[in-house]
């Protein structure tokens, strides 16, 4: 099995940061005012890539020049951020965006006005270098999902089996790319929107019956979770199935894992899992399983109509399920299967769904 590429990633990041700095020095030595080329992240430069199945950045970029009075401060701050990241990566440390914002109090170009300003520079750097902030040793505030199942990882010199970390599971750390996949006995990944349903799956031993890694997303998936799912797909070769609430927000929690978000177009190639499959709850499930429902609110209807026009939903499956939900005027939660008893979702629903997607 392939391991994590934590070491070579680090090397690659340092090389990219080095190249950035050398470029600036070179221009200075040649007597030219140094410039940085920052890929544009405006909506007009965000393109849906049909072939890959996720949003990417188009070819446009902005120039940030040290010779422009309007740009020189931002130019200098960008280099400070790059230097801060280089130091972190070299030392093997991590900092949050918030910590960087406060650390900047002591930087030469002066503190940032607010954190939005420093966050934007981090995005600039990610887009310029084509690496994730996590590779730059900047970690998201929040931990990722919980994982339960037969996966052994190695993290900070410690070996952990995700069956033996407690019911709460192994927590995907913000630094997931530092984690090495050592061994995996599972054959598929089932990612679940709510922790209530995650605990149901753990309790009913779905991980054993379906040889699955059970991933509890805790709502919209964190970056670390998406990275974990992508690595599970690519490095472990596991198919990824998504089980969310049957409402527009559940649909979209699934879709962001599949196709990434427009906002993160510059880094979707590291996060999106284009062949992950949404197994439910669908509008068809609501009908087929006679699930208890709630009425769609106006917000839900508006959201569904947005999704109808979203290029990521431009497939027969999604168009049908969106239309059906609008016609029904109803939505249903994952936990609605409890109508048939607590075990039903694992004993009846899940096997039927897996037969459907795996065609066996």
Q: Is residue 94 part of the contact set for its own copies (CB under 8 A)?
A: yes
Q: Is residue 293 part of the contact set for its own copies (CB under 8 A)?
A: no
Site string for its own copies, 214-233 (x = CB under 8 A): --x-x---------------
- Give the residue, chosen from 3, 110, 168, 351, that forms a contact with its own copies under the rule CB under 8 A: 168
Helix (H) or strand (E) holding 331: strand 330-331
Look at the alpha carbons of 359, 338, 296, 248 in this order and tell me if their dihedral is positive or negative: negative
Judged by CB under 8 A, which stretch of 174-182, 226-234, 247-255, 304-312 contacts its own copies?
174-182
Q: Is residue 106 part of the contact set for its own copies (CB under 8 A)?
A: yes
Non-local (6+) Cβ contacts of 25 within 8 A are none
Look at the alpha carbons of 225, 231, 233, 236 in this order and tell me if their dihedral is positive or negative: negative
C-alpha–C-alpha distance, residues 174 and 201, integer Å: 24
Check: CB of residue 244 under 8 Å from CB of residue 251: yes
Q: Report cis status (omega within 30 of 0) of the bond before 82.
A: no
Q: Is residue 90 part of the contact set for its own copies (CB under 8 A)?
A: no
CB nearer its own copies, residue 143 or residue 348 = 143
Q: Is residue 209 part of the contact set for its own copies (CB under 8 A)?
A: no
Q: Is residue 297 part of the contact set for its own copies (CB under 8 A)?
A: no
Q: Is residue 7 part of the contact set for its own copies (CB under 8 A)?
A: no
CB nearer its own copies, residue 220 or residue 335 = 335
Judged by CB under 8 A, which stretch of 97-105, 260-268, 303-311, 312-320 contacts its own copies?
97-105
Active site residue 102: yes
Helix (H) or strand (E) holding 56: strand 54-57
C-alpha–C-alpha distance, residues 171 and 153, integer Å: 11
- Give the residue, chosen from 51, 113, 164, 309, that forms a contact with its own copies under the rule CB under 8 A: 164
C-alpha–C-alpha distance, residues 47 and 156, integer Å: 38
Q: Is residue 356 part of the contact set for its own copies (CB under 8 A)?
A: no
Among 54, 61, 101, 102, the one annotated catalytic: 102
- Give the residue, chosen from 208, 297, 339, 355, that forms a contact with its own copies under the rule CB under 8 A: 339
Check: CB of residue 46 under 8 Å from CB of residue 123: no
Q: Is residue 258 part of the contact set for its own copies (CB under 8 A)?
A: no
Q: How far are the Cα atoms of 64, 72, 101, 118, 119 from residue 111, in angstroms, in the given order? A: 19, 14, 8, 9, 13
- Cross-strand pairs, 188: 212
Enzyme catalytic residues: 102
Residues that bind its own copies (CB under 8 A): 93-96, 98-103, 105-106, 111, 139, 141-144, 146, 153, 155-156, 158, 160, 163-175, 179, 194-196, 199-200, 203, 216, 218, 292, 333, 335-339, 341-342
């Amino acid at each position: 099995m392939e391991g994590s590429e934590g070491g070579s990633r680090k090397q690659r990041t340092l090389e990219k940061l080095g190249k950035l700095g050398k470029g600036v020095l070179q221009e200075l030595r040649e007597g030219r005012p140094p410039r940085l080329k920052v890929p544009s992240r405006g909506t007009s430069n965000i393109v849906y890539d049909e072939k890959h199945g996720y949003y990417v950045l188009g070819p446009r970029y902005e120039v940030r020049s040290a010779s422009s009075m309007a740009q020189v401060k931002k130019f200098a701050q960008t280099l400070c951020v790059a230097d801060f990241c280089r130091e972190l990566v070299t030392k093997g440390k991590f900092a949050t965006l918030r910590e960087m914002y406060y650390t900047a109090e002591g930087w030469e170009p002066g503190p940032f006005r607010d954190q939005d300003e420093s966050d934007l520079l981090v995005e600039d750097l990610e887009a310029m270098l084509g690496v994730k902030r996590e590779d730059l040793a900047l970690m998201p505030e929040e931990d990722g999902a919980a994982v339960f199942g037969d996966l052994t990882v190695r993290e900070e010199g410690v070996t952990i089996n995700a069956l033996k970390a407690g019911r709460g599971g192994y927590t995907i750390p913000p630094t997931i790319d530092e984690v090495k996949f050592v061994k995996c006995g599972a054959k598929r990944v089932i990612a679940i929107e709510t922790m209530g349903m995650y605990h149901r799956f753990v309790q009913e031993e779905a991980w054993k019956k379906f040889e699955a890694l059970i991933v509890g997303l805790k709502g919209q998936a964190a970056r670390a979770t998406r990275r974990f799912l992508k690595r599970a797909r690519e490095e472990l070769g596991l198919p990824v199935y998504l089980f969310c609430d049957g409402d527009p927000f559940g649909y979209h929690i699934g879709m962001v894992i599949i196709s990434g978000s427009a906002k993160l177009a510059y880094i979707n190639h590291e996060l999106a899992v284009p062949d992950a499959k949404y197994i439910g709850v669908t509008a068809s499930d609501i009908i087929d399983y006679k699930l208890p429902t709630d009425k769609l609110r106006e917000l839900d209807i508006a959201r569904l109509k947005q999704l109808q026009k979203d290029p990521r939903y431009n497939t027969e499956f999604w168009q049908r399920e969106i239309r059906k939900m609008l016609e029904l005027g109803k939505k249903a939660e994952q936990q609605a299967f409890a109508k048939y008893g607590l075990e039903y979702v694992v004993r009846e629903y899940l096997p039927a769904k897996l037969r459907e997607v795996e065609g066996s």
